[in-house]
Chains A and B, each alone.
Chain A
Amino acid sequence: MSEKKGEKKKKRILVCDDEESIRLLLSEALEERYDIDLAADGREALKKATKESFDLIIIDIKMPGVHGLEAIERIRQRDIKTPIIICSAYRLMQDDIVVKTSDVDAFITKPIDIKEFKEKIFELIGV
């Protein structure tokens, strides 16, 4: 990543969603302020989160292979303390989703309101 000297380094966000359109939407919405990296499933996200350092991870639940909740559990097991936002079409109560609240910093349901989403991210990691 080449950056001009003196320019403040952007915070890094890992976006993990199996839907390409969602990955694109989030990177389009957030790239202005953040440095975005993408992962298409839980396994890739886990790999990237272990190897690289991120300021925030945004992850979907339902994905092929390693799903979101499993990936989060494994990330936390590896003592990676990066804040995590779940962004899913599931509803916590309605769909009986059980999330360990200590592992996750926010739960945002799809469809998302981009303005609110950005505010939440700002609240968690600033710019």
Chain B
Amino acid sequence: MSKRILITLRFVLILITVLVITYSKKGLSFPEPGYTIALFYFVTNLILYFLPEKFFSKPIITFLIFLFDIITISLVVYMVQGFETDFYIVYFLVIFAASVSQGIIGSIPIAAVASIIYAWLMYKSNPDISFFSSQILLRIPLLFTMTLICSYWSAATRRELKKKEELERFSRELKREIGVITASEIELRRYHEKILNSVPSGVIATRKDGIITTLNPEAERVLCLKKDEVIGHNIKDIPGLGAFWKKMEQAINSGITVKRDEVLVKNKENKTTPIGISISPITDIKDKFSGCVAIFKDLSEIRRLEEKLKQAEKLSYLGKMASWVAHEIRNPLTAIDGFAQLLNNKAKQEKIGLYSSEIRKGTERINYIIDDILCFARTKRKVTHVEINLRELIQSIIKSIVHIKILVRGDKLPIIKGEIESIRRVFVNLINNSAEAMGEDGRLKINFSSNKKMILTEIIDNGKGIPKENLKNLFTAFFTTKQRGTGLGLSIVQKIIDEHNGKIEIESEEGVGTTCRVSLPKEREEEKNDE
């Protein structure tokens, strides 16, 4: 029984009581105690109003409340002497409430109590009343009949209500579950899509007939396709993927997974890409082959690295070979050169001296060529870097050059860190080139400057300059315009500067001169020196 219904019925009861007291013929004579009862009853109802819902769920409590109500009604009936009237109908309200609340089991005792009290009150007010009078014979069975009807109706209503409630609950749960299922399906789809999107390989799935059903971003990138443009289209219609489809078809027809195969695909720009591919057939619910999924990787980068590795191996081999050749040649060269020197020392005749000095020039040149080839062919190796004062280094190089004027200017302490022999080689090469390009009136300017990170060395000559068409080939190996030269000089220069994380630029104008700019990383902030 809900608290709300009980309290509402009791308020109705109070209202009816007050109305009966006010309008009944006899009630008019006892207005004051009647109103007191109504007020008292109202107060008890107010108290009930503030009691917790839980309180009303106990059958014994509600039974006591109904009992109290029956007694109160009986008291009012007694006070207004309403046995002749229809006031007894008020009992129905309580019985109705009890039926709704307790069902037939709870309401029969209430009806019995009401009947007994009513009969007793009637007997009390009129001891001569016959058992067969209409008040007893009609009203008391009526009370019970009402109880039964109400109980039946209340039970039926309750059943209906319960059914409705259950239906509603079921509907709510169904809706919730559908919601959960829909959400998890969306989540699952998103999850699968995310997996597909984050796979670093291309994934493409087609139906048996070649219609594309799935394409992930890596596949879009490698095959230069757009998902929106190809999903639902046939792979056979996409130019450049002929070999790709052939492999897929093979997997579909045989039902066997194609593992680690390789195909070439052509994209829209006609660029051929080598692709490493694995294809698995897909089966439908009935276990029939319905299509296939291909997982593939762009092999361009791997091929490029393989090529680079091959190149590096070749270079390493070349370096080793050059080193071996150099060593083997230098030994007999030492003998030739050494004996030429001994011969020269012992030469009494002028001619022998001349011959021996020519032999020495030849051996020196051979040695120089060997050095060049070795330097060019060698691969990266561990080197000892030391502090190098470029000004001192360059001054030691230009000491031997006498046929031109050389002016050294700029920073006093252009200090870098590097491998001294290699750096010397750079500047010997550049200065010799400039010196060779100038005649007797040549003026070579060497200027040092620096910024926070780099030391810039400029070598500026006023020689004959380099023809425009030769400028682009300056650093190409074996390119030379000199009568005697390996054509390796500037390649070696560039290689050494690269190894030192530096930069070289050459500007030249025919008939005006050439400027070489070499930037090398500074070892430290230079100190001020006003030497």
Give residues in A with beta carbon < 8 Å to B.
19, 21-22, 24-26, 28-29, 62, 89-91, 93-96, 110-115
Contacts and interface: CB of A to CB of B under 8 A. Distances in A.
A113 B367 CA distance: 13
Given A19-B332, A93-B383, A115-B341, 5 more contacts: A21-B331, A29-B341, A111-B367, A114-B338, A114-B345
Nearest to A87: B334
Given A93-B421, A112-B338, A19 B381 contact: no
B327 A94 contact: no
Nearest to A62: B327
Given A94-B374, A96-B381, A89 B335 contact: no
A22 B335 contact: yes
Residue among A21, A26, A28, A115 with max Cβ neighbours from chain B (10 Å):
A21
B330 A93 contact: no
A111 B384 CA distance: 24
Contact of B331 (A19, A26, A29): A19
Interface in B320-341: 323, 326-328, 330-335, 337-339, 341
Contacts, number: 67
B339 A110 contact: no
Interface of B: 323, 326-328, 330-335, 337-339, 341-342, 345, 363-364, 367, 374-375, 378, 381-384, 419, 421-422
Contacts of A90: 327
B342 A25 contact: yes
Contacts of A21: 331-332, 335
A85 B383 CA distance: 23
B317 to A, nearest CB: 16
Nearest to A20: B335
A112 B334 contact: yes
Contacts of A26: 338
Contacts of B419: 93
25 contacts: A19-B334, A21-B331, A21-B332, A21-B335, A22-B331, A22-B338, A25-B334, A25-B338, A29-B342, A62-B327, A89-B327, A89-B328, A89-B330, A93-B422, A94-B374, A94-B375, A94-B378, A94-B421, A110-B333, A111-B333, A111-B334, A111-B338, A112-B334, A114-B338, A114-B342
Given A96-B381, A111-B363, A89 B342 contact: no
Nearest to B336: A111
Contacts of A110: 330-331, 333-334
B330 A111 contact: yes
B88 to A, nearest CB: 125
A113 B340 CA distance: 11
A89 B337 contact: no
Given A62-B327, A94-B378, A96-B382, A89 B334 contact: yes
The 10 closest A-B pairs by CB, nearest first: A89-B330, A21-B335, A110-B334, A25-B338, A111-B337, A111-B334, A114-B341, A89-B327, A110-B330, A19-B331
Given A62-B327, A93-B421, A25 B335 contact: yes
A113 B338 CA distance: 7
Contacts of A29: 338, 341-342
A21 B85 CA distance: 157
Contacts of B363: 111
Contacts of B374: 91, 94
A101 B516 CA distance: 38
Contact of A89 (B326, B345, B421): B326
Contacts of B330: 89, 110-111
A95 B334 CA distance: 18
B345 to A, nearest CB: 8
A24 B332 CA distance: 12
Contacts of B334: 19, 22, 25, 89, 110-112
Contacts of A28: 339, 342
Contacts of B422: 93
B323 A95 contact: yes
A113 B333 CA distance: 12
A90 B329 CA distance: 11
A119 to B, nearest CB: 13
Contacts of B328: 89
Residue among A62, A94, A95, A114 with max Cβ neighbours from chain B (10 Å):
A94
Nearest to A110: B334
B423 to A, nearest CB: 12
Contacts of A62: 327
Contacts of B327: 62, 89-90, 95
B335 A19 contact: yes
A16 B332 CA distance: 16
Nearest to B364: A111
A112 B323 CA distance: 18
A25 B334 CA distance: 9
B335 A93 contact: no
A52 to B, nearest CB: 26
